Amino acid sequence: MSDETSFQAPKGTFDLLPPDSAVFLAVRDALSAPARRAGYGYVETPGFESVGLFSRGVGESTDIVTKEMYTLTTKGGTELALRPEGTASVLRAALQANLHRGGNLPVKLWYSGSYYRYERPQAGRYRHFSQVGAEAIGAEDPLLDTELIVLAVDGYRSLGLTGFRLLLNTLGDRECRPVYRAALQDFLRGLDLDEETRRRIEINPLRVLDDKRESVQRQLAGAPLIGDHLCEACKEYHEQVRDLLTASGVAFEDDPRLVRGLDYYTRTTFEFVHDGLGSQSAIGGGGRYDGLSEMIGGPSLPSVGWALGVDRTVLALRSEGVALDLPAATDVYAVPMGEEARRTLFTVVTELRRAGVAADMAFGGRSVKNAMKSANRSGARFALIAGERDLADGVVQIKDLAGGEQEPVALNEVVAAVKSRLG
């Protein structure tokens, strides 16, 4: 423990600092870029919402609502929760702003932010985590489900990630799901389960299929499958999604037990997993949630979306040994010798920055030797060096930090000279 401060980040959280934070930002940009190109506009929602939004939308029986939400009561007596996921908030925001009323459906939105769950911390599972999400609100179309899956795949591929797999299932709709639910409940009631899991059978039996405990999974071997209870419309819808994915060059694995951890999913359900991450193998997932709008008091708005874990994706890249090609934080580092050079080079550095060049300099009156060490550590390609004699001659020395070559350039030509050298 450092003695620099008496405070530490709360248990189960972490600080993101350079240089690791540059990788995090690059992953966030790469995962959201395909959605931005596909007409998804950025949305940002508050970090906390009414507790009811999540208990009604995410589901009373989910671990997220029963065990993992951070809740607080305001001085005015309002019950709030730190957001445990993004979809319910984004849908609430779209409904509140009447984005669905213009007739221009689907409303396509993407977002990025931190989410909070009181979970047992372990590798790849934290109490605050970052996601990039995308939602298409107000249209029921297998093309849309496929579009979102393809956008996620393209985001992962653009990072150079290859070891991920797409698991695919359908959860039926309000026509066929009740029949399956009843069959599943009958089966589950005959198993040797604890009291809490028995309660879950009555509220949302599909959640029992998602139970990761070996003792439960063993007993689920003969459980009825949703695929055997689908109505014709759901069968046809799912076949279209499968065909469209294949036509788009996206490989998938049918997983008849995939249910996802939230109550609002219907029809298309999917998860991206990476085998290099151990037990926390999911790096993203989503699906169709046609009934969520009504659950939170809105009109019927069939919708589909996903959330991709930024932290998990970074871990997946590390497990594959993929190093991202990140732009240099600094291209040019200025090393002044003397007070006049400090002021002059500060002006030059400001001009370079305004011309779009990443530039930094030695602050605090450090020695030339110390400043040159910083220049090399910064990753800059060039150093700008100036002393009294250089300034008397109206020049600055440009030094190539890789090759060591150095040449004088007139003060008023430094910006152009640096830009041409950087290409």
Task: Please say if the pLDDT value at position 32 is more than 70.
Answer: yes
On the CB side of 321, CA atoms within 13 Å amount to 0
Which H or E element spans position 309? strand 303-309
With a cut of 80, say whether residue 1 has pLDDT above it: no
131 belongs to an annotated ligand binding site = yes
The domains found in the chain, sorted by start residue, are: 20-176+230-320 (3.30.930.10), 332-422 (3.40.50.800)
pLDDT on residue 119: 81
Query: Residue 67 above 90 pLDDT?
Result: no
- Residue 138 labelled as part of a binding site: no
CA dist 69 and 79 (Å) reads 12
- Angle at 105 (CA atoms; ends 99, 110), nearest 5 degrees: 65
Interior angle at CA 166, CA 116 and CA 30, nearest 5: 60
Answer yes or no: is pLDDT of 226 > 70: yes
| Separation between Cα atoms, residue 279 and residue 292, nearest integer Å | 29
pLDDT beyond 80 at 57 = no
pLDDT tens, residue by residue, 238-284: 999 999 999 999 999 999 888 765 666 789 999 999 998 887 799 99
More confident residue, 81 or 4: 81
Q: Which residues contact 278 (CB under 8 A, 6 or more apart)?
A: 123, 124
Best CA proximity match to 209, nearest among 194, 188, 186 = 188
Report the C-alpha gap between 371 and 367 in whole angstroms: 6
Contact partners, residue 101, CB within 8 Å, separation at least 6: none
Q: In this structure, what token pair is assigned to residue 87?
A: 């979809």
Give the whole-number percent of the chain exceeding pLDDT 90. 70
pLDDT confidence of 64, banded at 50, 70, 90?
A: low
145, 170 Cβ separation under 8 angstroms: no
Alpha-carbon separation of residue 231 from 255, 292, 404 (angstroms): 18, 21, 72
Q: pLDDT tens digits, residue range 318-360?
A: 999 999 999 888 999 999 999 999 999 999 999 999 999 999 9
pLDDT tens-place string over residues 85-126? 999 999 999 999 999 998 889 999 999 999 999 888 777 788
Mean pLDDT of the chain: 91
Q: H or E element: which one contains 354?
A: helix 339-354
pLDDT the model gives residue 265: 79
**Does the annotation list 135 as a binding residue?**
yes
pTM, rounded to two decimals:
0.90
Q: What is the pLDDT of residue 133?
A: 98
According to the annotation, is 160 in a ligand binding site? no
Q: What percent of the chain has pLDDT over 70?
A: 96
Task: Round to whole Å and give the CA distance between 333 and 349.
Answer: 8
* Span 190-207, average pLDDT: 84
- Residue 282's contacts (CB-CB under 8 Å, 6 or more residues apart) are 271, 272, 273, 309, 312
Average pLDDT for 10-29 = 93
Let me know: does 84 contact 126? Beta carbons within 8 Å. Answer: no
Note the pLDDT of residue 68: 86
Give the pLDDT of residue 61.
56
pLDDT at 2 over 60: no
User: What is the dihedral sign for C-alpha 229, 230, 231, 232?
Assistant: negative
CA distances in angstroms from 257 to 168, 209, 212, 270, listed in the order given = 9, 7, 12, 11
Predicted local distance difference test score (pLDDT) of residue 310 = 96
Residue 142 above 90 pLDDT? yes
Q: Is 85 annotated as a binding residue?
A: yes
Q: Report d(CA 41, CA 33) in Å as an integer.
A: 11
Determine the pLDDT at residue 257. Answer: 84
Output the DSSP codes for 107-158.
EEEEEEEEEE-----BTTB-SEEEEEEEEEES---HHHHHHHHHHHHHHHHH
Taking only the tens place, the pLDDT of each residue in 287-330 is 999 989 998 999 999 999 999 999 999 999 999 999 999 988 89
At 27, is the secondary structure helix, strand, or coil?
A: helix
